Amino acid sequence: MTSRPAVPPVVLASTFVFEDAESMARSVQERTPHLYSRWSNPTVEALEAEVAKLEGAEGCVAFGSGMAAVHAALLAATEGAPALAVQREIYGGTHELLGFATWPCPVSRFSLVDAVDAAAALPEGAVILLELPTNPIVRVVDLEGVRAAAPTATIIVDATFASPVFSRPLEHGADLVVHSATKYLAGHHDVVAGVVSGSDLDAVWRVRKVLGAVLDPAAAYRVWRGLRTLKLRVRQQNATAELLSARLEEHPRVTAVHHPSLPSHPDHGRLGGVLSAGGGVFSFDVPDPSAVLNRLTRFELAPSLGGTNTLITSAAGVTHANVSPEEQAEAGISQGLLRVAVGLEDAEELWADLEAALSQ
Ligand SMILES: Cc1ncc(COP(=O)(O)O)c(C=O)c1O
């Protein structure tokens, strides 16, 4: 009789010990078995295998943060590429990274609404970075259109806001998919992590090995455990987001609501394609955002998303504070826009809290 642990052991070893000199030398050449935890680690590998399954990918490389994952995907893909084209409506940290790092090719921007035309105008072999859906007004880029317009491009999709439950971009034309695993994948506000999935990951792995932005094994275990409940969590979060956004749209003090489940949303028609549901984030406009924030008791005032607790934040004042007012307006972000990242609380309790905060 044999048995095995029901969950992956947390292997904290930084280095691995060999029985003989030949095996040690072989592990350097063949990257197996484990040699050193900046190269690979059993607990991190257990997580990577689960994420690859969720994405329908051949492999996955995990990182110490979502930003490290975005950085590695971009560095790996742009090596020898003639151009990097980036969707304008992306996470602020990624904006900052693009200005901060030095890239081996020219960097250009395009708006999500012009993505297909922008992709068609790129040179062969360019790199395209997309984010799907966008923050905070939950727009959905036409990934399949971009793929058709740029058949030789390397397309990277940051699908953090979708989770692999609602979007598997590799099946719709992406070459690499990135997540801040800090959000839905881990799901409990207790870890910072990132993942890159795809089929040809040698260059991504090499960036991790060289720059050392590895995921700690104990953190990898927490993300692995989060994945056990991912589907249940995101389905409930999406159902609550749909209910709250539909009710808010009827509320007289709310001037706009953004969630793809609403027929009024410009990308409602894209649901069912690259994105099967809008997910747990929505945003809405009110004339007095600070007053509404201060009256809420069941919503926590915080900027992240994807965890067990419902979080709410101002978009203009917090998540997009480093974006100029003109760019905010272009991205549909008004001064009164509040972004909600739904957690696992009872939907009716959240609604009662929102209604009370709006009616005072
Ligand atoms: C879409 C998106 N990508 C990347 C990141 C960066 O992830 P991390 O905070 O895990 O470094 C974030 C963080 O909020 C994000 O929202």
* pLDDT one-digit tens code per residue, 239-263: 999 999 999 999 999 999 999 999 9
Share of the chain above pLDDT 70, in %: 100
Identify the pLDDT of residue 322.
Answer: 79
Residue nearest to atom 6 of ligand 1 (CA): 66
Query: Is there a catalytic annotation at residue 346?
Result: no
Residue 70's nearest CA partner among 190, 182, 180, 185 is 180
Residues 87 and 189 in one domain: yes
Q: Is residue 123 in some structural domain?
A: yes
Q: Locate tokens 């990951």: which residue? A: 201
201 C-alpha to center of ligand 1: Å?
A: 20
- Domain assignment present for residue 7? The answer is no
Give the H or E element holding residue 49: helix 42-55
Indicate if the pLDDT at residue 69 is higher than 80: yes
pLDDT at 65 over 80: yes
From edge to edge, which strands make up the β-sheet containing 127-131? 59-63, 194-198, 176-180, 154-158, 127-131, 84-87, 107-110
Choosing from 160, 188, 339 the residue with most ligand 1 atoms within 8 A of its CB, the one to mutate for a pocket test is 160
User: Could you tell me the CA-to-CA distances from 138 to 83, 215, 265, 270, 294 in Å, in that order?
Assistant: 27, 29, 9, 12, 24
Q: Are residues 281 and 213 in the same domain?
A: no
Q: What average pLDDT score do residues 114-127 get? A: 98
How would residue 8 be classed by pLDDT, with cut points 50, 70 and 90? very high
Rounded to the nearest angstrom, the distance between the alpha carbon of 70 and the centre of ligand 1 is: 9
State the SS3 of 310-354.
CEEEEHHHHHCCCCCHHHHHHCCCCCCEEEEECCCCCHHHHHHHH
d(CA 158, CA 132): 6
The whole domain housing 84 covers 21-227
Q: Do 195 and 255 share a domain, yes or no?
A: no
Active site residue 353: no
- pLDDT at residue 150 in the model: 98
> Is 15 among the domain residues?
no
Q: Does residue 15 register a pLDDT over 80?
A: yes
Residue of minimum CA distance from atom 14 in ligand 1: 304
Domain shared by 110 and 218, yes or no: yes
4 among known catalytic residues = no
In a shared domain, residues 143 and 255: no
Per the domain annotation, does 334 fall within a domain? yes
**Of 185, 148, 189, the residue nearest 167 (C-alpha):** 185
| Best residue for ligand 1 mutational test, from 130, 137, 182 (most atoms within 8 Å of Cβ) | 182
Residue with the smallest CA separation from ligand 1 atom 16 is 91
pLDDT band at 319 (very low <50, low <70, confident <90, very high): confident
Query: Distance, CA 91 to ligand 1 centroid (Å)?
Result: 7
List the structure tokens of 47. 């997580």
Domain boundary among 227, 242, 257: 227
Residue with the bigger pLDDT between 360 and 19: it is: 19
pLDDT band at 12 (very low <50, low <70, confident <90, very high): very high
Predicted TM-score (pTM) above 0.95: yes
Ligand 1 atom, smallest distance to 68 CA: 11
Domain membership flag for residue 8: no
* 67 CA → ligand 1 middle, Å: 6
- The answer on 205 and 58 residing in a single domain is yes
Q: Is the pLDDT of residue 112 over 80?
A: yes
Q: What is the mean pLDDT of residues 28-49?
A: 96
Q: What is the pLDDT of residue 1?
A: 72
DSSP per-residue codes, 232-262: HHHHHHHHHHHHHHHHHHH-TT--EEE-TTS
Same-domain status, 144 and 163: yes
**Nearest atom (ligand 1) to Cα of 182:** 10
Q: Are residues 99 and 189 in the same domain?
A: yes
- Assigned token pair, 167: 């979007």
Q: For 56-201, where are the alpha helices, taking DSSP H only?
A: 66-78, 92-100, 115-120, 143-149, 163-166
The answer to whether the bond into 123 is cis (omega within 30° of 0) is: no
**pLDDT of 267 higher than 80:** yes
For a pocket test of ligand 1, which of 87, 88, 183 has the largest count of ligand atoms closer than 8 A to its C-beta? 183
Ligand 1 pocket by C-beta < 6 Å: which residues?
A: 65-67, 70, 91, 93, 131, 158, 160-161, 180, 182, 192, 194
Told to judge if 225 belongs to the known catalytic residues of this protein, a careful annotator would answer no
Residue 90 CA to ligand 1 centre (angstroms): 10
Q: What is the pLDDT of residue 331?
A: 80
Nearest atom in ligand 1 to 70's CA: 4
Residue 210, token pair as written in the block? 């060289």
From 227, 262, 294, the end of a domain falls on 227
What is the distance in A from the centroid of ligand 1 to the CA of 66? 5
Choice among 88, 168, 183, 233 that is catalytic: 183
Question: Is residue 2, in this structure, part of any structural domain at all?
Answer: no
Summarised one tens digit per residue, pLDDT across range 126-174 is 999 999 999 999 999 999 999 999 999 999 999 999 999 999 999 999 9
For residue 158, count other CB atoms closer than 10 A to its CB: 28
- Ligand 1, atom nearest to 67 Cα: 11
Q: Which of 31, 38, 206, 225 is catalytic?
A: 38
| pLDDT reported for residue 126 | 98
4 pLDDT exceeds 80? Answer: yes
Residues 217, 165 share a domain: yes
CATH of the domain at 261: 3.90.1150.10
Say if residue 176 is in the same domain as residue 193.
Answer: yes
Q: Is residue 240 within 8 Å of residue 280, measured between CB atoms?
A: yes
Q: Per the domain annotation, does 9 fall within a domain? A: no
**208 and 92, same structural domain?**
yes
User: Considering its fold, how many domains does the chain have in total?
Assistant: 2
* Cα separation, 53 vs 59, whole angstroms: 8
Tell me what the pLDDT averaged over the chain comes to.
Answer: 96
Q: From the CA of 18, how far away is ligand 1's center (Å)? A: 38
- DSSP letter at 123? P
Ligand 1 atom nearest to 183, measured from its CA:
10
pLDDT of residue 185: 98
CATH code: domain of residue 141: 3.40.640.10
Q: Is residue 145 part of a domain?
A: yes
Strands 337-341 and 107-110, sheet pairing: unpaired
For residues 313 and 181, membership in a common domain is answered with no
Residue 138 near residue 315 (C-beta atoms within 8 A):
no
Which pLDDT value is given to residue 316?
85
Among 227, 256, 286, the domain-final residue is 227
Answer yes or no: are the C-beta atoms of 284 and 337 closer than 8 Å: yes
As a whole number of angstroms, the distance between CA 275 and CA 320 comes to: 24
